[in-house]
Amino acid sequence: MPYTEEKYENAIIQLFEEMGYTHAYGPAIDRDYKTPLYMDELTEALYRLNPTLPDDAISDALFKLRNFENGELVQKNAVFMDYLQNGIEVRYTDKGEERSAICYLVDYA
């Protein structure tokens, strides 16, 4: 029996479920079809992954995720992969001073 895309997808879903993730069937999720991001989930995740960052820093990360610089699709993919691997450099103001930090999208630990 050949190894099909469906079998591969199901194996990945099973792997993630074994790691504690919950699988949700995409078409069953209410969302805004004008954006590929699930903003409620993304915002919650950024706060959970970056508990020391203030609201302004999380807002800056969300803005950068929603508004890629102009460029070709390959360039945009490269920027997003950099965000996934290294985090997003964010700027915020703390007690009147401008600060910068890294906002992570993934907890690799």
pLDDT number for residue 62: 96
Please compute the mean of the pLDDT values over residues 8-35 and round it to a whole number. Answer: 89
In the chain, alpha helices (H): 5-18, 39-49, 55-66, 73-86
Please compute the mean of the pLDDT values over residues 13-33 and round it to a whole number. Answer: 88
pTM for this entry: 0.75
Greatest Cα-to-Cα distance within the chain, rounded to the nearest angstrom: 65
The torsion defined by the Cα of 7, 13, 19 and 21, in degrees rounded to 10, comes to: -170
Q: Amino acid identity, residue 78?
A: A
Model pLDDT for residues 36-86, shown as the tens digit of each residue: 888 888 999 999 999 999 999 999 999 999 987 777 888 989 999 999 999
Where is 100: in which H helix or E strand? strand 97-103
Please compute the mean of the pLDDT values over residues 20-40 and round it to a whole number. Answer: 85
**Half-sphere exposure for 23 (CA within 13 Å, toward CB):** 12
Model pLDDT for residues 86-108, shown as the tens digit of each residue: 999 999 998 899 999 999 999 98
